[in-house]
Amino acid sequence: MKVSFLDLQPVTARQRDELIAAATRVIDRGWFILGEELAAFEREFAAWNGSAFGIGVGTGLDALSLVLRGWREMGLVHAGDEVIVPAHTFIASVLAITEAGLKPVLVEVCEQSFTMDPASPAAAINDRTRVLMPVHLYGQLADMEAIMGLARKHGLLVLEDAAQAHGARLGERRAGTWGDAAAFSFYPGKNLGALGDGGMVTTDDSTLAEVVGALRNYGSKEKYHHQYAGPNSRLDEIQAAFLRAKLPLLDGDNQRRREIAARYGREIVHPEVRLPAVVRGDEGHAWHLFVVRTCRRASLQQHLTANGIGSQIHYPVPPFRQQAYRELFAGIELPLTAALADEVLSLPLSPVMDAGQVAAVIEAVNSWQG
């Protein structure tokens, strides 16, 4: 049996008629930017998440950088200030910081959870530190109680990178409701994906919501009057309409992801394959990705490919080793981050996988001899 790493066709096909109806609604209305679909989706997503405000933007990267730029406009953060971010993350977490004219300070993650270890930022905080940016990597909540405690103690702002963690929760409290603001991505492969690019800022701070709402629209609150030198980064009406149709399926999809992850956890048994740890309770993980570790990754990946099972590496080159940052991070050593980049492998995980496909993945991993 063939199992692709992620096939969005069957995910989208489940809602073919609703998505066509959503597109038709927008086409027939003839209003494509900053209209009622976006306003409704902002309200619906914020309410679903338990946030006071949602501001739809062009991408997850922009959601992150517009929060930082918003804090700069509000005078809370200044050019060159430091933002502490986990070194093991998707490059966008770091790009948002440099794009906002700030300095990323990379710290190692906790090896069990792959998320920010509150002990590492504690050592990195100095008088230029203004922001902590925990990343709920692979869908698992970072240790937000400890991180918020640290932030309050040192007077720091907290921006949650929740791009992979829509719906991860502790009790009723979801990812993106601990920090001063959060950024979500609706890139098609994310747990809630648009049919194109999209992103959202959530916050309970009405001032930040207003500033980000203006920033995304050329820095304008009133047409042709520009308070800030902002970019053009808005969530299209048609994407907002698609996302409104998809939001009601998100909790159920996350539940299905948890069931598949739990079965992988029970049935993948291989001495050389280390399974991901669940450290914030069952619902504290939205299982965007199921990431295993092995010292002989190339061999495992080859074996999976030979058995028709797709897999991917998130991420093969860490931000501190990227060409784009060869000067900024010159000479930095992050041994755990480097080891993870060499050892992590993501297995197929999608809410539409059936039991046979899940079994095929398990069997392929367990039969690996290398």
Residues forming contacts to ligand PLP in the complex (CB under 6 A) are: 59-61, 89-90, 92-93, 135, 161, 163-164, 185, 187, 197, 199
Residues 6+ positions from 214 with CB-CB distance below 8 Å:
220, 221, 227, 228, 230
Is residue 289 a contact partner of residue 315, using CB atoms and an 8 Å limit? no
* Residue 72 or 288 with smaller CB distance to ligand PLP: 288
Write down the least CB distance from residue 230 to ligand PLP, Å. Answer: 17
How many angstroms separate the CA atoms of 249 and 252, rounded? 6
Which residue is listed with tokens 């300095």?
103
Alpha carbon distance 361, 270 (integer Å): 13
Mention every residue, 6+ apart, whose C-beta is less than 8 A from residue 327: none
Instruction: Compute the least distance from the CB of residue 158 to ligand PLP, in Å.
Output: 15
- Helix (H) / strand (E) element for 214: namely helix 206-215
**Closer CB to ligand PLP, 59 or 350, in the complex:** 59
Comparing every residue's Cβ against ligand PLP, the nearest one is 60
Closest CA to 163 of 204, 192, 142: 192
Q: Which is nearer to ligand PLP, 89 or 203 (CB)?
A: 89
Nearest to 357 by CA among 345, 348, 346: 348
Contacts of 212 (CB under 8 A, 6+ apart): 55, 57, 66, 67, 70, 201, 203
Q: Which is nearer to ligand PLP, 164 or 254 (CB)?
A: 164
Between 59 and 301, whose beta carbon lies closer to ligand PLP? 59
For residue 10, the minimal CB distance to ligand PLP (Å) is 21
Q: Would you say 187 or 290 has its CB closer to ligand PLP?
A: 187
Closer to ligand PLP by Cβ: residue 117 or 197: 197
Per the DSSP assignment, residues forming a β-bridge with 181 are: 159
Please name the amino acid found at residue 147.
Answer: I
Q: Quote the least distance from Cβ 67 to ligand PLP, whole Å.
A: 12
Angle 247-250-254 (CA atoms, 0-180°, nearest 5)? 170
- Shortest Å distance, C-beta 125 to ligand PLP: 22
State the nearest-atom distance from the C-beta of 328 to ligand PLP, in Å: 18
CB of 137 to ligand PLP, least distance (A): 6
